[in-house]
Amino acid sequence: MKRYDLMHNINTRGTFLMSQKCIPYLKQAKNPHILNISPPLLMEKKWFANHVAYTMAKYGMSMCVLGMHEELRPDRIAVNALWPRTAIWTAAMDMLSGGMGEKGCRKPSIMADAAYALLSRNSREFTGNFVIDEDILREEGVRDFDKYAIDPSAQLTPDFFVPGAEDVISSGASSKREESRKMMKESDVRTVLENARKIVNAEMVSKVGAVFQFALKSGSGVSEVFFDLKNGDGRVEEGRVESADVYFELDASNFGKLFNGELSATKAFMSGQLKITGDMNKALKLEGMLNKMNKSKL
């Protein structure tokens, strides 16, 4: 409960407390705004599964927007929320991904520019909005978003809680749908594992620090493989490990795509192609591990 209390004290309670303390001063301002870095309120189970406490804390901030914007309307104090469309490379992301998820992120400067655009708007007219960073910048005339990317050539990783993200993920995929349905041969799985063994080492173990168990579904049943990136020099094997930090379930046809760069783990999760249970903080490191392997040209 310590982590639960910490998240709620910082996010929900902190937002409510700071807003209340600032209101007397905001009433004296010419263009007063309260801006919460919190997501749109989407009551969908996928945003709650595996991280209920975090979602409750962030949605608590968004509920402050929902209530306070109407409460403070007579005082012309605007209350809005801002949220990124993609993952943002911050110290927190660096820590959670073990320094391996940078390429699919944007720089914090996109949120800074979006916040400036939002806070520059008339507080009497622009209030009670749940804004996505990219959307408001497009309204301001921004067209070049490559400048915000850590690596403009890399595929961006969508953030959580973004409405319609799964549609963006699946768009353009119809031409490959039949191919995706084909069963992956056991020899193909073994090829992925053999190539992975060439990359796994003590350095990767020190960065990831997790055991990943994969359940691969196909027409002939379910096969299992695991990546021990927590002990010794690391290990990649077929079968089931006694205790894993994270369990992944996906179609065997998508397993190879994860490891050759055709499919992003985050996008697969958000589109329902990849099911995750266990430690979500450690699950985030899978994307970085895959990027490392793809960089090494498996």
For residue 222, what are the contacts with CB-CB under 8 A and spacing of at least 6?
A: 215, 216
DSSP-derived 3-state class of residue 69:
helix
CB 144 within 8 A of CB 110: no
* Catalytic-labelled residue, pool 4, 25, 54, 247: 54
Please indicate whether residue 116 is annotated as part of the active site. no
- Stated length of the chain: 298
Half-sphere exposure for 216 (CA within 13 Å, toward CB): 24
| Continuous segment of H or E residues that includes residue 260 | helix 252-260
- Strand blocks (E) in the chain: 33-36, 78-83, 130-132, 210-218, 221-229, 235-238, 246-251, 274-278
Q: How many CB atoms lie within 10 A of CB 43?
A: 7
Closest C-alpha to 225, from 241, 208, 204, 242: 241
d(CA 288, CA 292): 6
Q: How many CB atoms lie within 10 A of CB 294?
A: 16
- What would the two tokens of residue 73 be? 């309307």
Task: Give catalytic residue positions.
Answer: 54
